[in-house]
Structure 1
């Protein structure tokens, strides 16, 4: 059945192609106030500004096919229309008196809904918004409202973990140890490249094994890394051991690690990176970056040169480096890094346009990156570089991202079938009992 979709401003800002491609043969209504809000965003130098400009250009291109306020046919068979009528605020004013932009969008949807009710064959009117409160208001007014889900990578509870647990016959576990591996066909389980498999005895004994999928050999093979510390850091659980296996494997140039606070993502990554850069000299330099997104209210401009401005944002990185270098006094870590020269802490603001060969690149708090920003960063990697993206999809400070639409989740899902990438979700907090309880209970 044909439907009428009224779009909130956040839909084209999330996906500028959505109004033209995501609604099949239905009618898409863009309230005039949405254009005003898009116009206010177009000068931003972030993803929102880029999407606002792209959406504007696509609307402008449609003008060659007709008048936007009369409706123009889309390639999918629907129409897209800038709504100049149905702006009366009287029907909304009774419930929500304030004349805000959100309420003006609601007024368009409500007036269209009431008009359709008078038709012999009324069409459903649906308001599409990523704003929870707008959807709640629509429900109060009797309008059907839906979230825009086309930008979701995966359901929040279906994010790829990077490992699986299989209960199998103990004979297969014995064969795994005796033959230094076992054929994937014997596991009778769908696997991804570089996925980890925990083998458990189906009869309930303590017999178990941990292996990694070698998709080229079609084998489950033992881990190459042993229990020796890496820059003084040892794996404290199975997932941390998996993470070190990926971090220390030079044949896997893209690694993603997700997990709650305190699971050891950053510390393990920096330990492995220092081992590769300073001990093995496999990479020329360690480049560490993180997005400059504040938690809570922004404190504004910071004084000093670039490095001084970056220091508050990069403090979590310095905290981990101080632990690894076992510094005793404040300021020691700066002297160490200055003397080594092979470690660079950088804001992601300056990464566009660069080509970065032969470096170990670590991106912390990657859950605060958009899909476009993740693409920009990973595409900077030159020959011989390794990129590690770490973060917690449940701790997002970016106002327009969530656990299912952020860049980290996006790259995990898009690369899980590629043999050049590996991923692990860390579960157990190792920072302290307090940190683990805080992550679980709060």
Structure 2
């Protein structure tokens, strides 16, 4: 049965490809949504880019016919710019007719009254309050589900397998073990004694040979940092393995995501010279004034946003001789370290670099794709974040780009993922992350 979907502006700004994501159903875009898209097109950020992409898609569809009458989509449905069907006089007095959200709601109400329109009418919006208001008005509303990942079912990167103790002995003696189970490339396996003994072994899956093998880097001290738990040990193994080009590190505050990535990045760039530069970046998601309102040049503007990175860098560099701030500045002057806002790396091709994208949970799947496609030859990219600490108003733990990336790349040979569970920052930080 065909359905009719009314799209809110935030859906298209979140994912311009939403125009083609509803199979053979009908899509309605209220004219006020076009006005809102137009108002965003000059912004020099991801919102502006999405707005311009939506406009280009609609302009291409215009070649197929008149949008206000409806045009056929390649999936079999239709897309129509709705000029009429507004029932502003039916809105409750408390809902202003001047507000764009309410005009979208009134359009959905009008379509619901039209017997010639395919039912049900479903409003698709990423705005929770918009869904609540729609429900109150008797119009079915849904979140935009495409690219959503159930956080409770997110691939963790580490699985525990109970085996006979003889198999664990065999693994240690032969340094390999074959199990009749399916694993993902670069997945880590903790072998445990199935009769209750304390014997165990941490290994990784070699998909080329279909064997469990020992970790390549075990007990490694990297830039003064050693792993404190099995998940951190797995993270180090991936970070130090240049065959793995894409790594996602997920975990709550204090689990060591950024610190581990920075330690390996410094080792790989400064000491081993495996990469030309360490590039550290994070999205600017303001909780108040935006970047442009801060005083100073670009470097001074960036400092408050990049301060968590500087804190970790000073901890790592401070473990060596000399003043930490001076050493960081020297490394920057030598062009070995670059700290940049995510906005400024778009459009670049970045070869032979060790890239760390911090706070990646604040990125949409579309933005994640844009970043990954910047990676040049010989570059390794690490994305870190906590899916439960999201500042983007239209993302949550299920719809952010970090979890989407981890789930979609879990069966790729050049990618690896691990979920860090144990807080190592301090006893108080771990307690706060767990209790509060």
Compute the TM-score of the two structures, normalised by the length of structure 2. Answer: 0.92
SS at match of 1:275: helix
Partner of 1:3: 3
Instruction: Tell me, yes or no, if structure 1 residue 242 matches structure 2 residue 237.
Output: no
**1:359-370 equivalences in 2 (<5 Å):** 359-370=353-364
Tell me if the contact between 1:289 and 1:345 (Cα under 8 Å) persists in the aligned partners. yes
1:263-342 map, 5 Å: 263-296=255-288, 298=290, 300-326=292-318, 332-340=323-331, 341=334, 342=336
The answer to whether 1:378 aligns with 2:372 is yes
Among 152, 155, 165, the residue aligned to 1:157: 152
Structure 2: distance between partners of 1:170 and 1:338: 52
Q: In 2, distance between residues paired with 1:296 and 1:441?
A: 27
CA gap of 1:125–1:249, structure 2 versus 1, over 3 A, is same
Q: Distance in 2 between matches of 1:422 and 1:292?
A: 26
Ranges in structure 1 where 5+ consecutive residues have no aligned partner: none
Aligned to 2:395: 401
Runs of 4+ in 1 over 6 A off after TM superposition: none
Cα deviation for residue 256 of structure 1 reads 1.6
- Equivalent residue number for residue 103 of structure 1: 102
What whole-Å deviation, never above 9, does each CA across 1:176-212 have from its counterpart, x for those lacking one?
11111102xx2x3221111100111222222211101
Q: 1-side partners of 2:292 and 2:94: how far apart?
A: 38
Kindly indicate whether the alpha-carbon contact (under 8 Å) linking 2:12 and 2:50 is maintained by their aligned counterparts in 1.
yes
Distance 1:194 1:146, change over 3 A: same
Show the counterpart of 1:145. Answer: 141
Mapped partners of 1:316, 1:104: distance in 2: 42
Q: 2:421 aligns with which of 404, 414, 427?
A: 427
Structure-2 residue corresponding to 1:197: 189
How many pairs does the alignment contain? 433
Q: Deviations over 1:392-424 (max 9, x none)?
A: 122122233332333322322232112112111
Confirm or deny: 8 A CA contact 2:277 2:353 kept in the other structure: yes
Does the 8 Å CA contact 2:254/2:429 hold for their aligned counterparts? yes
Match of 2:162? 167
The corresponding residue for 1:123 is 119
* Contact 1:47–1:370 under 8 Å retained in 2: no
1:38 to 1:308, Cα distance in 2 relative to 1, 3 A: same
Q: TM-score scaled by structure 1?
A: 0.91
Which 5+ residue runs of structure 2 have no aligned equivalent? none
Give the SS at the match of 2:114: helix
1:414 paired residue among 405, 408, 431: 408
Deviation at 1:97, TM superposition (A): 4.8
* Mapping of residues 58-77 of structure 1, within 5 Å: 58-77=57-76
Secondary structure in 2 matching 1:241 = helix
* 1:260 Cα deviation from its structure 2 partner: 0.6
Distance (whole Å) between structure 1 residues aligned to residue 319 and residue 241 of structure 2:
28
Give the superposed CA RMSD: 2.3
CA positional deviation for 1:95: 6.0
Matched, 1:353 2:344: no
Give the SS at the match of 1:389.
Answer: strand
Mark the CA change 1:383 to 1:31 in structure 2 (over 3 Å): closer, same or farther: closer
Q: Is the CA contact (8 Å cut-off) linking 1:88 and 1:107 kept in structure 2? A: yes
Q: Are the structure 2 counterparts of residues 63 and 275 from structure 1 closer, same or farther at C-alpha, using a change threshold of 3 Å? A: closer
- Give how far 1:140 is off: 0.9
TM superposition shift of 1:250 = 2.1
Give the 3 Å change call, closer, same or farther, for CA 164–35 of structure 1 in structure 2: same
Matched, 1:134 2:145: no
Deviation readout 1:302-340 (Å, 9 max, x if unpaired): 2223222221111111111111122799x9433112334
Give the match's secondary structure for 1:17.
Answer: helix
* Distance (whole Å) between structure 1 residues aligned to residue 77 and residue 376 of structure 2: 43
- CA–CA distance in structure 2, aligned partners of residues 70 and 135 of structure 1: 27
